[in-house]
Structure 1
Amino acid sequence: MTSFYPEIRIIFIDDGSKDETPVVIQTLVKSVVDINILYLRFTRNFGKELAVKCGIDHSTADYCAIMDGDLQHPSEKLIEAYEKIAEDNSSLVYISPLKRQKHFHQKLGTYGYKKMINSFSKDKVFLTDFSLMDKKAVDLIKLYKESDFYTRGILSVIGLKSSEIYYIPKERLHGKTNFSFKKSINLAIDGIISVSTKPLRIAIYVGIFTSIMSILFGTYLIVEKIIMGQPIPGFATLGFGLFFFGGIQLLFLGLIGEYVGKIYLQVKNRPVYVVDKQLTNGELVSKKENSIPEEIIHFQVKNQNNQ
């Protein structure tokens, strides 16, 4: 890579790991002399998306690549991505896997999620983090300070010209992923909510539909009682109505609650991530306990009109 890119800087983001990652990275930083390395360790686990956001925030190069640390993303594809940017005059190249999962249920889940999130989003969302972008794209992403940062959604929202190439994922050399099924579900939900408010519009449509159906059902019962003279089974009708409409209300109250929760976290103006230690070329710097530098801690933008 150094023969193709004269100047390379690798930014490692440690998302509050509990293993020997700090020791390994510190040894690597001290042993490597021809590549500039920056290591940032979070005080706790803030999540994959904010780790990516942190890396982008600290990027100052002409081009920035997002790669996983499990070595399954082939670095040689970055050369092809760079050539693709020059060829298509684009600002962003997605590097998508040709094969993603081995199991059928994983493939089915990925396919369903891809269809769902793209039906909600105005712009096409690529389900890959492996990408290369120019400085224009990086500077635009830095403007987004939201606490529920979703990389794939933000990349689609910025609206810059993009291209796509493909790769075959390498086998994982060491260990196993800590990204559990629960985390995948949470990421999928956060992704859908962050890219669109269409689920709220669906709630309105379903609410209107159920209201009309309930009116028609009530009209049917009245007609059956008055005209047909048939007795109305009270407990059955009451039970059906209570459980059905109660379930609909609970479902969409939960959906609205998701959005209210996002707003609640946003207006609290908390830092979206906190860096505990910073290591560059062997020099370890611990941040003071009560000192929060602006370049390390990114606060949400305050409403100047309220001050």
Structure 2
Amino acid sequence: MFDGALAHLSKLVHDTLRREIGFVINWGPPGHFERRPNVERTFKRITDDIFLRLPSTTGSDPKSGRADDAAGAAMHYRIRADDVEQLLDVVFAEHNGLPGQGNFYNSPLETLQYFLNGPSPRVMLRKLPFAGSTRARLLLRRELCTVRGGVKSGRKPYIQFENVLYTSPLLSTSVKLVNTELTIYVDDEDLRTVKAFTSNGYELGILTATRGWNLTKHSLATRKAIFQLVSRRILVLSQSADPVQVYLLHLAKHVEKSSKGGKGSLKDSTDLARVAKEADVTPTLASASSDGVPIDPAVESTERSHLRLVPPSQKRYKVTNR
């Protein structure tokens, strides 16, 4: 059972898992909470105990309970998503550990333990078989791409996915695969590589992105944002530059202008934090002194001069064979 909010954004996961695993999803009827009273009561309790008590709450709906300048309050009080998730974990632990009348004054964990390991267990726990990467691939997005290139065009075989070319030493020498379709498995959180298979099931292995797109880890949302700026001629990508690092510098400049009183948007700060977290890059404020020692971003200081992007560790750049 899932909450119906944002159900329109879950088509990819919903369809893939239903087709591969075969489970059933119950979204719940809109406007009829009485059909799932336990689930809806739990959602309401979580909302009342956490989200509606925050100074940055958006309320129960767009017309009720929204705080004045919720986004500004979140920045002023530095309400972080990680902190809210920790509060949510506390509420879950409290709900699962406290006894309730509906369970004959047993906690949900005690009730679950009784049904699984009690004197007369009523449930035999089923486990999904996990056969290594085969099961993991079922959770990835699957796409069909046509192999381009060939002897006539003078280009080694490649595929194109989301405006970026992918190839490998094996694919670049497989001229017979030109104009055929490959099935690729895509991890939307890391588009540096994809895994390819031929139509008859032969595994081609890992295909790596070209033109600098294989250097820094990035998600599908980041790539689309970069190409949106490229199409508007705001960003210009060279053949050797790292597109993600160029995008980070672009966001950093906008955030810096905003901190100095210029025109900036909250979206740039959010995108900078998101992309930096994906790429394992820490955007910090560097001191204007000659030693160049970075200052803690949480410390207010008038000596801040510019945003400095700390390069990520090389360990995160290594591509593993999934």
TM-score, normalised relative to structure 2: 0.25
TM-score, normalised relative to structure 1: 0.26
Looking at both structures, which has the greater relative contact order when contacts are Cα pairs under 8 Å and sequence separation is at least 6? 1
